[in-house]
Structure 1
Amino acid sequence: MAKYTPDVTPLILAAHKDNYEILKLLLNRGATLPMPHDVRCGCDDCVVATSSDCLRHSRSRINAYRALTSPSLIALSSKDPILTAFELSWELRRLSSIENEFKADYTELRQRCQEFATSLLDHARTSSELEIILNYDPSGPAYQTGERMKLERLKLAVNYKQKTFVAHSKVQQLLASVWYEGMPGFRRKGPIGQILEIGKLGAMFPIYSMIYILAPHSKMGLKMKKPFAKFVCQSASYCFFLCEKIFYGHHLDQ
């Protein structure tokens, strides 16, 4: 009796073992691993395979996806490993809801994809390298340090529900630095110091707003473009509007 089923090719077996050297050798020799047919595919091959042995057909699909989620195979065959991992994770999420019998297998493979994409962030040694990864846009120009960050790759992670990628400590540190940009030393202050700083910024929002309107490119005008300062001023203006509405409403009732 054969140890492996006929669908397990040398490339699939090497991917199951995550053997980088063997995978590289096979790929250089022209070996390929196409995506499996959709689970609802109605082609002749799928219909015959399902009718003859539905279990073997399902296991062959799982074997193919187990190979496709191999970190070494993704790194060797994909021009954009992070995007490939995101797409595979999303497809496996869909399959886990369709083929409930094999939900545990697909969930395990999906977790593997998420861990691979997240592990790539560990190779970023500086903030500049991390910014390049998170701002990568294949359809746009290359990101240059100092430009306004659009975080296209991070938005993609959110769309594909890559929680571990978004929650990575390096990503969270970068988001915090972007959020508090323009407020140097704010995070190092104690709770009382932070409350006083927010109160000062909120109380002076009319003056800051006028400066932004009259001189948007001044030092204070540019500060008002920063996320945290903008959030505090908008919140203060909204609170002022509510207080004013309540006061005038109470005055009219009298």
Structure 2
Amino acid sequence: MSLMSLENLSVRRAGEVVLAPLSLRLEPGECVGLIGPNGAGKTTLMRAALGLIGASGTSALAALSPAARAARAAWLPQAREIVWPVSVAHLVGLGAAARGRPETHPSVAAALARLDLAPLAARQANALSGGEQARVLLARALAQDTPLILADEPLAGLDPAQAIRTMGLLAALAAEGRGVLASLHDLSLAARFCTRLIVLHRGRLVADGAPAAVLTDALLAEVFGIRCTRVATPEGLMLLPEGVIAR
């Protein structure tokens, strides 16, 4: 059964089309990168799929009750600031609480361990660095223990090593049978770790497929305005930016 099913989903704001009608399915085992320039509609798509904003068309997730949706999908929003003076363990435990589970549920300890946060469990979450807060919020999503994770720019605020570790974690979760949809700006990491890329441009879906098939010279030039050298490595496709194309 598909973890996410969208049929002719579209969003209009103030009479303008923000997201043109599109249909998508996301299956177990897929690590899907949602890519596109700023303002392409990536966040809008994910929020509409979850029923967080009004949309036309249908989303199987949006049609669920809040409790049923919490059991199906975890949401990591783009905002990363933690303002509450609570412990890391308590904040991560809120992921389990979304499922009606206690903060002592095994999923909480597992999430802390996977993000290397166990040593920080007693620390005050809002006193951590920006990168550490980003990891805590991702751990909260993992503690929800859902078959699907939607993450809006999960690499924001992370140093290069943590960004690689995070993408490796998302890819591993997919390999374990979950589904992941993550909006990304780092095309090299998207090409290396994602099994599939969805490209939005000006609110429209313009490509959907395996990274090597999607990231063509023509698409990189048209959508992102860049020129890259593509290198096949044992770890996957690598993109080496050469420069910006004047448009």
Name the TM-score, length of structure 2 as normaliser.
0.26
Give 1 or 2: higher helix fraction: 1
State the structure with more CA Rg: 1
Give 1 or 2: higher strand fraction: 2
Higher relative contact order (CA 8 A, sep 6+): 2
